[in-house]
Amino acid sequence: AQSVTQLDSHVSVSEGTPVLLRCNYSSSYSPSLFWYVQHPNKGLQLLLKYTSAATLVKGINGFEAEFKKSETSFHLTKPSAHMSDAAEYFCVVSSMDTGRRALTFGSGTRLQVQP
């Protein structure tokens, strides 16, 4: 079985300050991990993914995430928040080894960016 826990349902930061969105995963096999972003009334856009290559993954819009197997974590960071980063962020896991292609989503973290 696989699962994802996003530790914060809401995060509020000031524009220009760092962003940290926390995610822990559970998977019986080698996981693939993703962060998707959902802007209001929009679809799901892939930010970045980890698929067993480099543990530090860089994505779009200045976001990056680090896969830490010992901590079963895949936290999303950005050095400096922009107003346009305000959105819902989903940490997602899939485990190819089981043949299960379906994605398992976390419950989401709503990021607010204050001016």
Partner 1 sequence: EPEVTQTPSHQVTQMGQEVILRCVPISNHLYFYWYRQILGQKVEFLVSFYNNEISEKSEIFDDQFSVERPDGSNFTLKIRSTKLEDSAMYFCASWLGLGIEETQYFGPGTRLLVL
Residue numbers 38-77 binding partner 1 by CB under 8 A: 42-46, 49, 51
Site size toward partner 1 (CB under 8 A) is 22
The single residue among 35, 67, 74, 90 that binds partner 1, judged by CB under 8 A, is 90
Buried b (16+ CB within 10 A) or exposed e, 3-24: ebebeeeebebeeeeebebbbb
Q: Give me the least distance between CB of 40 and partner 1, in Å please.
A: 12
The DSSP output letter for 86 is: -
Q: How far is CA 64 from the centre of its chain?
A: 9
- Residues lying near partner 1 in the complex (CB under 8 A): 32, 34, 36, 42-46, 49, 51, 90, 94, 96, 100-108
